[in-house]
Structure 1
Amino acid sequence: MAQNKQKRGPMQFLQFGVIGFANAAIDIGTLNLLLILFHTDDRGMLLLYNTISYILAVVNSYYWNASITFKRSAKGSNRQRILFIVQGLVSLGVSNLVFLGANELLQLIGTNNWLRYNVAKGLAMFLSFLASFFMVKYFVFRDYGKRYIDEKN
């Protein structure tokens, strides 16, 4: 049983990563589209744009990860949906803090707007991806019933 669990961990991370690339395309694509259509340097608007792009990616993430990566433990219950929303909000907080912080640091060193926004977004996506994976695996789609049975034996 432990060997099966060990194999599942790296495979889940790989699947989560592949889905993460699609999410990244949605996330950074939406941010850049918003910046092209409604360019701004206003911190509040940048926060709004980052939040919109992140939410679209999270919706995509939930669908695919519940269907593929964590399908064994994804029950589609209200509890899991609420926990997914909670982890999404925490990951959004990580994303927004990193995006705004990196944007400010890069602005101080004189990085041009396009590069600054995209590097800051890339860092935000990477760190929120890591936070999201571990929260989804160990908090949202955790197989409580199976773990309880394994601990009893």
Structure 2
Amino acid sequence: MSQQKRGPTQFLQFGVIGLANAAIDIGALNLLLILFHTDSKGLLLLYNTIAYSLAVANSYFWNGTITFKRSSEGSNRQRILFIVQGLVSLGVNNLTFLGTNELLNFIGINNLLQYNFSKGMAMFLSFLASFFMVKYIVFRDYQK
């Protein structure tokens, strides 16, 4: 498949896998909030980090197996780069989650709605950051 056609296909595949990751991410966050409700920023950050980390592990497996199969080597270099991009994306996710929470808290929106909307914004922005880092850094196709 040509490089031009592979980009949109990869983005679509990454998006479908991203939906599964989103279900894991938001499901884990809500489960933690239901079991251990909190309004503490520190615990919210911990819950968000746990939920996001579960989704990233799922992402690595499926994107390495399907989306970037052609350039996935399973090498230590790729694993380390994936971890680095995961940490950068986690930073984007956590900053967006906490920042949006602060904004919505100021407006006075219901906590559960606030947390879920914030999580949605965080997932969207970290999804975009992650796709471009995974495509152009982690699973970069060296066979040009």
Unaligned runs of 5+ in 2: none
- The corresponding residue for 2:104 is 106
Residue 29 of structure 1 corresponds to: 27
The equivalent residue for 1:118 is 116
Q: Is 1:129–2:116 an aligned residue pair?
A: no
Q: TM-score, normalised by structure 1?
A: 0.93
Q: Helix, strand or coil: the match of 2:81?
A: helix
Determine the C-alpha separation between the residues in 2 that align with 1:89 and 1:22.
20
Larger Rg: 1 or 2? 1
Task: Name the CA distance, whole Å, in 2 between partners of 1:139 and 1:101.
Answer: 27
Q: What is the match of residue 66 of structure 1?
A: 64
Shift of 1:143: 1.6
Question: Runs of 4+ in structure 1 displaced over 4 angstroms?
Answer: none
Query: Quick one: distance in 2 between partners of 1:18 and 1:143?
Result: 21
Q: Deviations over 1:17-75 (max 9, x none)?
A: 00000000000000000000000000000000000000000000000000000000000
Q: Match of 1:60, SS? A: helix
Using the TM superposition, give the Cα deviation of residue 127 of structure 1 relative to its aligned residue in structure 2, in angstroms.
0.1
CA distance in 1, matches of 2:19, 2:79: 22
In structure 2, what is the Cα distance between the partners aligned to 1:117 and 1:60? 22
Cα distance between partner residues in 1 of 2:9 and 2:112: 35
Q: What is aligned with 1:79? A: 77
Give the alignment's Cα RMSD to 1 decimal. 0.7
Distance 1:67 1:73 in 2: 10
**Candidates 11, 14, 39, aligned match of 2:9:** 11
Quick one: which amino acid aligns to residue 115 of structure 1? L
Which residue does the alignment assign to 1:43?
Answer: 41
Q: Please state whether the residue corresponding to 2:69 is helix, strand or coil.
A: coil
Q: Which ranges in structure 1 are unaligned for 5 or more consecutive residues?
A: 148-153
**Which amino acid in the other structure matches residue 127 of structure 1?**
L
Identity of aligned residues (%): 78
Q: Which amino acid aligns with 1:68?
A: I
